[in-house]
């Protein structure tokens, strides 16, 4: 006897894993490829159950479908809020082959062998700045996660499909063998549980950041993560440490997690950390620029008219530290630039928005070099996460940018046009250097970098020593400091090296003493009012 939707009831009693007729329940908010998938299942002998818009889409495509409400004998109620929370649905998904067959037959519960389902688009809806609290609540899926959990728990008897990207592989395996292997069903089950976990995390985070009558807080009461493993790593910072890399499930455009690796060995823990530091630094600049990073610190940065010239100037800052470093560009890398780099130095990893075909061919001669392509995108906000013992710290990303208009000239002498350019360039680099940070620069290139010292004057001395060791003169250069000078000794050290312009946040109890030192040396000094600690 045929059901009202046209599906032979005998089809609804199929046994999973045998290749006999089976029943598939399909209910998706993302209908990409669902008609083709359902048609493939129908051709393989599956009867089709569905709900709402999915059922309509399948019928319009000429497929025979039974509505879930017809299958359960209970209508959808409360504007569709309740439609699949029924023993005939969950019994069909949870019934264990062999163990529950008699009970299912007694109660008239057909086994559901395959569930294809994705959830209400809560994250997409709430990402809209105009989303109301009521819209968000209505996009919390109830029946969907419940069915996914039922099917995933019973993976030995049920296959659960949660994404259009899985459709082709599932159909191909069914066509080849008549049934899905347990290993396949287990992998699909894990994907389903991961989807439900991310979905619940998104809801929890969104709701715990606000109330129905109060605006959102940037830091929700429940800080859930939404990361999926990109790869296991050979080891962590050191060989005795285990490690893995996790990406945001929806990485912001233009970030490291948005990258494509086009060549080279697997990324290591330190590769990833250095690559992120290099890319975060180089993407600040508009002109063709190059950043060379070693141990998460820029050791050379330059902007120029071409990527080759930018690289040459960045490399000249500290050619010793550049050995084995990570090199990032904010523009397409050509063959000449690629050839110059690999002929001159050992490089672990290169990053750019694009590489010419000739550049990639040249780099292919050094197969171990890791080559990453990251699309350019506007710098976006977000949260920065740092682990601490037994917990984590969250803060907004340090994406503050400083312009000339933001600065206050505090010295007797104002900067010249060239000095302004040098100061703002040095400031951008200093923002990315580990504290205490001092950067000497001139002509859109770094001349010396002092990083990670416990005292600021030591960073100033190291930066001067680095410049001297590289054969670079600091006469007429600019200095950037990521935080204020607590004493005048840093200014005296820079003046002795030839620095004539200083940019710093200001705010020290001894600002007057520091400004007086700048005036004594004929320096110009500007305050930004913004600090860039980077621990």
The catalytic residue positions are 153, 295
Q: How many CA atoms lie within 13 A of 49 on its CB side?
A: 27
403: nearest Cα among 418, 381, 425: 425
CB 298 within 8 A of CB 283: no
Q: Which uninterrupted H or E stretch holds 190?
A: helix 182-208
DSSP output for 336-372: HHHHHHHHH--EEEEEES-B-HHHHHHHTTSTTSEEE
Q: Can you list the pairs that 365-369 forms with residues at least 24 positions away whose Cβ atoms lie under 8 Å?
A: 366/342, 367/263, 367/264, 368/264, 368/265, 369/263, 369/264, 369/342
Cα–Cα distance for residue pair 313/411, rounded to 1 Å? 30
DSSP annotation of 475: T
Q: How far apart are the first and last CA of the chain?
A: 72
Q: What are residue 499's DSSP bridge partners?
A: 477
Reported in sequence order, the residue ranges of 398-456 that DSSP labels E, i.e. its strands, are 408-409, 438-441, 446-450
Q: Which two tokens stand for residue 14?
A: 């199929």
Burial class (CB in 10 A: 0-12, 13-18, 19+), 525: buried
| 115-136 exposure pattern, b = at least 16 Cβ within 10 A, e = fewer | bbbbbbebbebbeeeeeeeeeb
Question: Tokens 């490399």 appear where?
Answer: 315
Question: Tokens 């060989």 appear where?
Answer: 239
Rounded alpha-carbon distances, angstroms, from residue 285 to 127, 282, 319, 333, 341: 29, 6, 22, 16, 21
Q: What crossing angle do the helices spanning 34-43 and 52-60 adopt, rounded to 10°?
A: 70
Question: Tokens 């620029």 appear where?
Answer: 289
Q: How many CA atoms lie within 13 A of 256 on its CB side?
A: 20
């Amino acid at each position: 006897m045929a059901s009202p939707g046209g599906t032979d009831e005998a089809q609804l009693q199929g046994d999973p894993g045998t290749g006999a007729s089976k029943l598939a329940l399909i209910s998706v908010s993302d209908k990409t490829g669902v008609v083709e998938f359902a048609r493939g299942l129908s051709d393989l002998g599956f009867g089709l159950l569905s709900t709402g818009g999915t059922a309509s889409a399948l019928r319009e495509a000429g497929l025979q479908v039974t509505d879930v409400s017809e299958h359960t004998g209970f209508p959808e109620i409360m504007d569709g809020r309740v439609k699949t929370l029924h023993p005939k649905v969950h019994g069909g998904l949870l019934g264990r082959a062999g163990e529950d067959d008699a009970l299912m037959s007694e109660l008239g519960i057909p086994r559901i062998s395959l569930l294809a389902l994705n959830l209400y688009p809560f994250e997409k809806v709430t990402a809209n700045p105009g989303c109301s609290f009521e819209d968000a609540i209505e996009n919390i899926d109830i029946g969907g996660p419940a069915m996914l959990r039922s099917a995933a728990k019973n993976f030995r008897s049920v296959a659960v499909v949660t994404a259009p990207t899985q459709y082709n592989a599932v159909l191909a395996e069914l066509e080849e063998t008549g049934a899905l292997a347990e290993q396949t069903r287990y992998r699909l089950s894990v994907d389903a549980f991961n989807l439900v976990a991310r979905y619940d995390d998104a809801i929890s985070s969104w709701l715990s950041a606000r109330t129905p009558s109060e605006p959102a807080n940037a830091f929700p009461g429940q800080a859930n993560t939404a990361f999926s493993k990109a790869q296991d790593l050979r080891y962590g910072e050191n060989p005795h440490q285990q490690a893995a890399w996790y990406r945001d499930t929806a990485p912001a455009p233009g970030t490291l997690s948005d990258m494509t690796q086009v060549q080279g060995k697997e990324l290591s823990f330190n590769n990833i950390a250095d690559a992120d530091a290099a890319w975060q630094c180089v993407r600040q600049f508009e002109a063709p620029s190059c950043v060379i990073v070693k141990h998460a610190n820029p050791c050379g940065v330059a902007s120029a008219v071409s990527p080759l010239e930018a690289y040459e100037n960045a490399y000249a800052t500290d050619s010793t530290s550049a050995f084995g470093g990570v090199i990032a560009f904010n523009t397409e890398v050509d063959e000449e630039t690629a050839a110059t780099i690999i002929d001159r130095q050992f490089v672990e990893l290169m990053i750019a928005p694009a590489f010419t075909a000739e550049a990639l061919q040249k780099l292919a001669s050094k197969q171990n070099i890791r080559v990453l392509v990251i699309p350019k995108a506007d710098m976006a906000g977000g949260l920065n996460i740092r682990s601490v013992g037994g917990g984590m710290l969250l803060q907004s990303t340090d994406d503050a940018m400083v312009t000339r208009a933001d600065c206050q000239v505090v010295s007797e002498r104002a900067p010249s046009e060239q000095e302004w350019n040098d100061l703002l360039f040095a400031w951008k680099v200093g923002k990315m250097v580990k504290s205490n940070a001092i950067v000497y620069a001139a002509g859109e290139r770094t001349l010396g970098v002092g990083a990670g010292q416990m005292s600021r004057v030591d960073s100033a001395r190291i930066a001067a020593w680095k410049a001297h060791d590289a054969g670079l003169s600091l006469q007429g250069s600019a200095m950037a400091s990521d935080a204020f000078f607590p004493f005048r000794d840093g200014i005296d050290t820079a003046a002795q090296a030839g620095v004539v312009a200083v940019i710093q946040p200001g705010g020290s109890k001894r600002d007057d003493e520091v400004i007086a030192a700048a005036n004594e040396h004929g320096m110009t000094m500007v305050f930004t009012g913004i600090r860039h600690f980077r621990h």
